[in-house]
Amino acid sequence: MGQNKLEFWDSKVVALIFGVLLLISTVVLVWMEHVDAVNDLANIKIKEQMAVRTEYSLIENRLTILASDISYLHDVYGRELANPANYDRISQEWIVFSNKRQIYDQVRFIARNGDEKIRVDLKPQGAVRVPADQLQNKLDRYYFYEAVSLDKGSLYISPLDLNVEHNEIELPHKPMIRLGMPIYHEGQLLGIVAVNYLARDFLDNFRTYSQSWIGDQLLINKEGYYLCNTQDSSLEWGFMFPSTPAFRFDRQYPGEWKELLAGSSQLLTSEGLFTILPVNLNRVYRQDGKDFLPKNIYSSDNWYIVSVIPKNDENSFLYYDDYFYLLRNISTHMVFPFLLILAVVLAVAGSNGLQYYRKIHYQAAFDELTKAFNRQVGMEKLKELNEAAKNDQGNFSLCFMDVNGLKAINDNLGHPYGDEMIVTIVRTVQKMIRGRDFIVRLGGDEFLTVLPGADALQAEKVWMRVRNELNRINETEGRPYLISLSHGIVARRDYPELPLEEIISRADKLMYEEKQVIKKNFNSIREN
């Protein structure tokens, strides 16, 4: 009896310990799942914002090229189109232009009465001039009367839709954007120069870029119709087919559509994570330093780039605040009947190990002193940026920087002052550069600031902000030394054929030339 009672109490103690350990293990593991999900969600949000910005840059770069091309046709041929005797020569030159570009279905001059006077069509075998007896009148086409009504030097851009010939949607489908500029001669309207851009070009690139990100990338017009749906292409172009009214983002996600129109940039709803970036076609071309583009852009269309990560088991981080889901999720791989004490120890060790991994990962990517990217990681990011820029004809600028007088500070004031100055420089640069720019410590007192999407003039403006802030520090903080940098800026677009290493070398050379001038009269130790 006594033995049985002891065994009974022993079993109760074991059961109690088992229950306590089970409860502690469950709480710890659920909390760890929650923390991991929160961290994963935060990282995914940042990555998805990068994804839509990348897609926006793709659209921005492509549309800038289109605006540049039609502006070229307008400026070069505008006066000559007043004389029909020039049509044959112009047609031949436009055939060459079309064959070179390979992105325009049609290049046309349409007179003010709507008659096509010159039309060059891009065929599989090459561009050809359409015979006079096959030219059409486009007076009733919306893009014609929208463009012909504009002031001189203005550009009209049509909505993105499918090409229609003889009142039938052309097969296979041809996504098309039409651009038109009115032509005036001696104050009189002659007509418009127009190009039909084969938008499959950039839509395919839109899909290609989407493969690098987690979310399903969508391009939506202002009515909520899908222009590009990387998850299900059958939902695209619903507005061209009246029998498919349900093929719309605003009907699939009505609540999210309402928030999108209200200006939200990122939403976490019961449907998933939505990251949104509007594309205003009336402003997307307007960039500083692009005087060759038309100054007035008119379009009745706006787009939205939307990345959607659906809420499902594949994206469990979206359930970060659903503790019942987290419990169910961990229960499928917990082995509570076996070694619960070990499970608790492993949970604690796992938490410490995760923190240690993140610390090691951080140390591997960032310079310990300045918290800038180290040389290895910075150059990897720069190489990726360079490859992406080559693929979509993008641009970035490099600002090579070298600290002036660091050795004198280390020798006379000590290395702590030298380190203080270097940290101040990096923090100042990080504060003054744009959100997508980054700084790399190449080694010692050499740094490289990378400015995606910036030309040399824009990069120089950023540098002026950095220099002015360093001058303010010199004037107001009374440090025993003066902070000074030499710099050299090179834009990739200015040297499209050069390898990346040569572009960096050119920036280094410009920096060195400036440094030779500065060092003649510069003393980094402040005089008492």
pLDDT tens figures, 217-253: 999 999 999 999 988 888 888 888 877 777 889 999 9
CB 225 within 8 A of CB 249: yes
Indicate the domain borders of the chain.
66-201, 375-518
Residue with tokens 């209200």: 262
What band does 424 get if pLDDT is binned at 50, 70 and 90? Answer: very high
- Separation of alpha carbons 451 and 438, rounded Å: 7
pLDDT score of 283 more than 50: yes
Q: Which of 77-86, 100-109, 393-402, 420-429 has the lowest mean pLDDT?
A: 393-402
Residues with Cβ within 8 Å of residue 25, at least 6 apart in sequence: 334, 336, 340, 343, 344, 347
Q: How far apart are the first and last CA of the chain?
A: 94
Confidence (pLDDT) at 314: 76
- Separation of alpha carbons 284 and 56, rounded Å: 9
Confidence (pLDDT) at 392: 63
- Element at 406 (helix H, strand E): helix 406-412
Confidence (pLDDT) at 28: 65
Q: How many CB atoms lie within 10 A of CB 56?
A: 16
Confidence (pLDDT) at 339: 39
- CATH homologous superfamily for 375-518? Reverse transcriptase/Diguanylate cyclase domain (3.30.70.270)
Letter string b/e over residues 450-477, b meaning 16 or more CB atoms within 10 A of that residue's CB? bbbbbbbebbeebbeebbebbeebeeee
pLDDT score of 361 more than 70: no
Opening angle at CA 246, ends 243 and 247, nearest 5: 90
Paired sense of beta strands 175-185 and 154-157, if any = antiparallel
pLDDT score of 347 more than 70: no
What is the fold of 66-201?
Beta-Lactamase (3.30.450)
Confidence (pLDDT) at 257: 93
Q: Which of 9-18, 69-78, 508-517 has the lowest mean pLDDT?
A: 9-18
Confidence (pLDDT) at 315: 73
Residue 112 corresponds to which amino acid? R
Residue with tokens 């640069």: 429
Confidence (pLDDT) at 111: 96
Letter string b/e over residues 124-147, b meaning 16 or more CB atoms within 10 A of that residue's CB? eeebebbeeeeeeebeebebbebb
CB 389 within 8 A of CB 395: yes
- Selected residue with higher pLDDT from 336 and 462: 462
Q: How many CB atoms lie within 10 A of CB 354?
A: 14
Rg (CA), the chain: 31
- Element at 193 (helix H, strand E): strand 188-198
